[in-house]
Amino acid sequence: MAEQKVSLPAKLINGGVAGLVGVTCVFPIDLAKTRLQNQQAAKVYTGMLDCLAKTVRSEGYFGCYRGAAVNLTLVTPEKAIKLAANDIFRQKLSKDGRLPLWGEVMAGCGAGTCQVIVTTPMEMLKIQLQDAGRLAAQRPVAAPAPSLMAAPLVPPPPPPPALSRKSATSITLELLRTRGLAGLYRGAGATLMRDVPFSMIYFPLFANLNALGPRGAAAGCQGDLQERAPFWQSFTAGCAAGSVAAVAVTPLDVIKTRIQTLQKGEGEDSYKGIVDCIRRVMKREGPSAFLKGAICRALVIAPLFGIAQGVYFMGVGESLLEMLA
């Protein structure tokens, strides 16, 4: 079989479009995941549906999309790098159109490593915006004014200062001013620790599941994913592979989320690094805390990557470049 050349511009367009469509569909569930993972002592939400219901009630429908602008802006390069890098690494590691399992795993490792350049600042900003509503809901409600007939025994405490709602731009400028570029890359090690294993699980599993369909089987396809598969085939394979990989790395995602959250609620721990985070969470909340948001994460990642892979293999980039040629 003749080797097909990877068109990098087309792959970048495909990845960007795939990311935009996927994130728009699943962002509210991702917001619920972040808020549930950040809960420590004070239980504001009992689960995903409770979190979404309370968010809509207190912040309106668009409160479920708090931080979406950051994600939609940066998910284009993030997904473009991730999906295109995996394709390129697969091609480089293939021999005679065949790719062994170790090559699939290494290609996924390379893709996960490359995406961290964009993923870390994107997640850093998104988490601050997503978690603001949880912190606001956690604050005590002001006590009613005392009756004029009764003399107050103790003067009422001053109300807590209001939490300011910051924009992604103001958070970025503040981090750059106070901590430099390193501020935007806080938690880069934890992000790498999550994204590399995720990609090492996801991409080989997706490739083999996608190859089970009629088009994949006809292509021969342990390694050659250039043959376009039907949307339903890539969508199903992406959902299945995404849900497995998402649940597998949930403990690492909890660690990353906790480290990257800058504002903490009353009585909540701050962490000095990955090891300190693991030790404190284990001591205060037990092993089950590392699975917080696992269902939400699976519900986010499965359709996100199902949609992304389906759109990616539709060949939008190739069609667009042909029209412009």
Residue 117 covered by a domain: yes
Q: How large is the average pLDDT for residues 29-37?
A: 92
* Cβ atoms 253, 194 nearer than 8 A: yes
Q: How large is the average pLDDT for residues 15-40?
A: 86
* Cβ atoms 70, 129 nearer than 8 A: yes
Residue 145 covered by a domain: no
Per-residue model confidence as pLDDT tens digits over 149-180: 555 555 555 554 544 567 888 889 999 999 99
Which residue, among 46, 39, 37, 41, has the nearest Cα to 254 in the 3D structure? 37
Amino acid identity of 123?
A: E
Distance CA 317, CA 12 (A): 8
Would you state the pLDDT for residue 43?
83
Residues forming beta bridges with residue 95, ordered by sequence position: 98
Residue 242 covered by a domain: yes
DSSP single-letter state for residue 98: B
Distance CA 75, CA 99 (A): 28
Helix (H) or strand (E) holding 306: helix 294-312
In CATH, what number is assigned to the domain containing residue 25?
Answer: 1.50.40.10
Q: What are phi and psi of 40, to 5 degrees?
A: -120, -95
Instruction: For residue 100, count other CB atoms closer than 10 A to its CB.
Output: 13
Residue 143 covered by a domain: no
Q: Give the domain extent around 213.
A: 8-137+166-324
| pTM for the full predicted model | 0.78
Residue 58 covered by a domain: yes
Residue 22 covered by a domain: yes
Per-residue model confidence as pLDDT tens digits over 269-290: 889 899 999 999 999 999 999 9
Residue 79 covered by a domain: yes
Per-residue model confidence as pLDDT tens digits over 42-65: 788 989 999 999 999 999 998 899
Residue 218 covered by a domain: yes
**For the chain, how many structural domains are there in total?**
1
Q: What are phi and psi of 161, to 5 degrees?
A: -60, 140
